[in-house]
């Protein structure tokens, strides 16, 4: 049994009489769920409350579940895990659509980056959605629920819908200009419900760290430490940056070092997490701390780093701590395209980082980029090939990998108005052919699955029957387009959602959900990007 190998780093509270029977699920395998730091933190937070009796549920394993749960939560980190959400609801004999549930059913709540970005395609499946960071929001949710615990379902939802950061989809109505047309208005159905819901942001100096270490996790026996949250670079396509602003750093003395010392009591493997770990203002001090002889047997891994912070010393420390490779997001080999996306990076810095990685003793370098970025031209693909060839030349002993995705628009970013470019698929094939000749290990993400990502990322609540039908069709990449075709006239056109560029005055599916930055700021950032398009390709600013 998976749970037997767990080493807990917190003390669960014995539930009191009358504690709320709760199920908290990660809709995937146990090994995947327990590698999610967010899931670990929420589970531990619930388990440390004596007024909550929580059991965990995965697709392949589960703790003893309560017979009559009052709350059923899901942490959604990947869009396509929604199919597992529906499967687990069916296993528990709970209607998959919220509108079919009665007072006898638990309130189904959800959270995580997918639901915070754009919950609308999944709105019909959840009674309650928690938008934002869970540190304060989760406790507010439980406390608010306790106030109406014995009330009917409608009263509970009305009460919860008034709590900042808590979104109750059924309390908002959406008006369209046609069954398959654009949104006209999104409005609350009751005057006590706010017209917009603000994502909640935790601003403390103590960030997350693992609450459990287990050999059964996908990253076996790793203790994860969140070094930074968000990213100050603001690449214009990046959900992880824009949705999680502002950039926050964990205190070295009061957060990072105590967490690492706690983790080393149960494992010798430490993972430093964050979108831009090396931009922590005290990163050099953290590196020096981890470089002490007493940590000689510690295995250290680090998330994606900013290119100009890759020093020979960093590479040497990582190599000494059994790290074999570094990961850097470069987006493109074209400096013009990097200006479009606001990636403040020169090719010379990429080459210098590769040289430093090799000199420091690392064996591999993983670069990540995109094809089909708005404003990208064919010659920009050639520039990417040339840049990678130059990196290979300055660091010939490194195993060079280039992972490449297709641009997918994400809510609450300046590029939310751009669609997926159909020519991205051709460009991936060009890269595949050209890089293979140059000894670069090319690893593209599936173009067809990127289209599904875009469908869900930009979809509204009319996508519900599409998701249900695609699941019936087998959940293949093509099943979503097939479902849209079968439901034509009742749901928005597939190409309109996925490929079309949207106008700035369009009501977006998430217009009633307020992210960190106002719409006008996102529009300004988009227009700045358009200013770097080639004249013949430029579009009118919003």
* Full set of structural domains in the chain with CATH: 2-198 (3.40.50), 221-445+512-530 (3.20.20.70)
**376 pLDDT higher than 50:** yes
Q: What is the mean pLDDT of the chain?
A: 95
| Section 68-77 average pLDDT | 97
**Residue 246 and residue 516 in contact, taking contact as beta carbons nearer than 8 Å:** yes
Compute the distance between CA of residue 362 and CA of residue 312 in angstroms, rounded to an integer.
10
Dmax of the chain from CA atoms? Answer: 70
**536 pLDDT higher than 80:** no
Q: What is the pLDDT, as a whole number, of residue 42?
A: 97
Residues in contact with 476: Cβ distance below 8 Å, sequence separation at least 6, in sequence order: none
State pTM to two decimals.
0.95
Burial track 5-27 (b if 16+ CB lie within 10 A, e otherwise): ebeebbeeeebeeebbbbbbbbb
Strands (E), 11-163: 20-25, 52-57, 71-75, 107-111, 128-130
Task: Look up residue 170 and give its DSSP letter.
Answer: G
**541 pLDDT higher than 80:** no
**531 pLDDT higher than 60:** yes
| Section 319-336 average pLDDT | 94
**512 pLDDT higher than 50:** yes
Q: What is the pLDDT, as a whole number, of residue 304?
A: 78
Compute the distance between CA of residue 189 and CA of residue 199 in angstroms, rounded to an integer.
20
Residues in contact with 293: Cβ distance below 8 Å, sequence separation at least 6, in sequence order: none
Write out pLDDT tens, residues 207-237: 999 999 999 999 999 999 999 999 999 999 9
Q: To 10 degrees, the CA torsion angle through 133, 135, 136, 138?
A: 80
- pLDDT bin (cut points 50, 70, 90) of residue 479 is very high
Give percent of the chain above pLDDT 70.
99
Q: What is the chain's length?
A: 542
**538 pLDDT higher than 50:** no
**Residue 98 and residue 160 in contact, taking contact as beta carbons nearer than 8 Å:** no
**Residue 338 and residue 328 in contact, taking contact as beta carbons nearer than 8 Å:** no
**540 pLDDT higher than 60:** no
| Section 402-407 average pLDDT | 98
Q: Quick check: helix, strand or coil at residue 327?
A: strand
Q: What is the pLDDT, as a whole number, of residue 276?
A: 87
Q: To 10 degrees, the CA torsion angle through 374, 378, 379, 383?
A: 70
Write out pLDDT tens, residues 247-292: 999 999 999 999 999 999 999 999 999 998 999 999 999 989 998 9
Cα–Cα–Cα angle for 428, 434, 438, nearest 5°?
130
Phi-psi region of 165 (alpha: psi -120 to 50; beta: other; left: phi over 0): left
**205 pLDDT higher than 90:** no
| Section 178-196 average pLDDT | 96
Give percent of the chain above pLDDT 90.
95
- pLDDT bin (cut points 50, 70, 90) of residue 359 is very high
Nearest Cα to 461, choosing from 190, 183, 193?
183
Q: Is the alpha carbon torsion for 318, 323, 326, 327 positive or negative?
A: negative
Q: Quick check: helix, strand or coil at residue 373?
A: coil
**330 pLDDT higher than 60:** yes
Cα 144 to the chain's mean position, in Å?
A: 27
| Continuous H helices in 148-256 | 153-160, 239-242
Cα–Cα–Cα angle for 126, 110, 5, nearest 5°?
135
Give the β-pairing of 71-75 and 20-25.
Answer: parallel
Q: Is the alpha carbon torsion for 180, 185, 191, 197 positive or negative?
A: positive
**383 pLDDT higher than 70:** yes
């Amino acid at each position: 049994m998976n749970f037997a190998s767990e080493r807990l780093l917190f003390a669960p509270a014995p539930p009191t009489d009358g504690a709320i029977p709760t199920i908290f699920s990660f809709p995937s395998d146990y090994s995947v769920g327990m590698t999610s730091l967010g899931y670990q933190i929420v589970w531990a937070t619930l388990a440390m409350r004596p007024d909550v009796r929580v059991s965990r549920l995965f697709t392949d394993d589960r703790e003893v579940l309560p017979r009559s749960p009052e709350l059923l939560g899901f942490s959604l980190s990947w869009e396509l895990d929604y199919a597992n959400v529906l499967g687990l609801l069916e296993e528990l004999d709970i209607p998959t659509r919220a509108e079919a549930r009665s007072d006898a059913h638990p309130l189904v709540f959800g959270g995580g980056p997918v639901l915070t970005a754009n919950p609308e395609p999944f709105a019909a499946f959840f009674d309650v959605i928690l938008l934002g960071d869970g540190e304060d929001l989760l406790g507010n949710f439980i406390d608010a629920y306790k106030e109406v615990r014995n009330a009917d379902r409608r009263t509970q939802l009305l009460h919860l819908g008034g709590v900042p950061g808590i979104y109750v989809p059924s309390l908002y109505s959406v008006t369209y200009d046609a069954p398959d047309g654009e949104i006209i208005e999104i409005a609350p159905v009751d005057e006590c419900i706010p017209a917009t819901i603000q994502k909640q942001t935790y601003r403390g100096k103590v960030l997350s760290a693992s609450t459990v270490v287990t050999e059964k996790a996908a990253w076996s026996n790793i203790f994860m430490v969140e070094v930074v949250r968000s990213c100050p670079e603001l690449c214009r396509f990046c959900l992880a940056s824009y949705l999680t602003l502002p950039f926050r750093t964990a205190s070295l003395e009061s957060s990072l070092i105590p967490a690492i010392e706690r983790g080393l009591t149960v494992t010798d493997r430490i993972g430093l997490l964050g979108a831009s770990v090396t931009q922590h203002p005290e990163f050099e001090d953290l590196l020096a701390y981890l470089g002490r002889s007493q940590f000689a047997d510690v295995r250290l891994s680090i998330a994606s780093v900013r290119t100009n912070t890759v020093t020979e010393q960093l590479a040497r420390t990582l190599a000494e701590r059994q790290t074999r490779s570094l990961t850097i997001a470069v987006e493109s080999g074209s400096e013009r395209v990097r200006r479009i996306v606001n990636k403040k990076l020169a090719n010379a810095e990429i080459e210098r980082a590769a040289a430093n990685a090799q000199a420091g003793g690392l064996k591999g370098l993983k670069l990540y980029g995109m094809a089909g970025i708005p404003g990208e031209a064919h010659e920009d693909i050639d520039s990417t090939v040339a840049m990678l060839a130059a990196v290979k030349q300055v660091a010939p002993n490194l195993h060079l990998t280039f992972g490449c995705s297709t641009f997918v628009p994400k809510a609450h970013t300046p590029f939310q108005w751009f669609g997926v470019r159909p020519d991205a698929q051709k460009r991936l094939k060009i890269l595949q052919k050209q890089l293979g000749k140059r000894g670069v290990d090319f690893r593209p993400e599936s173009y067809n699955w990127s289209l599904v990502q875009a469908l869900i990322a930009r979809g509204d609540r009319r996508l519900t029957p599409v998701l249900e039908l695609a699941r019936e069709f087998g959940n293949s990449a093509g099943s979503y387009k097939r479902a849209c075709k079968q439901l034509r006239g009742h749901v928005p056109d597939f190409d309109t959602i996925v490929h079309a560029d949207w106008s700035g005055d369009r009501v977006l599916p998430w217009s009633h959900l307020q992210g960190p930055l106002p719409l006008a700021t996102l529009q300004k950032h988009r227009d700045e990007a358009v200013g770097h398009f080639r004249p013949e390709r430029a579009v009118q600013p919003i």
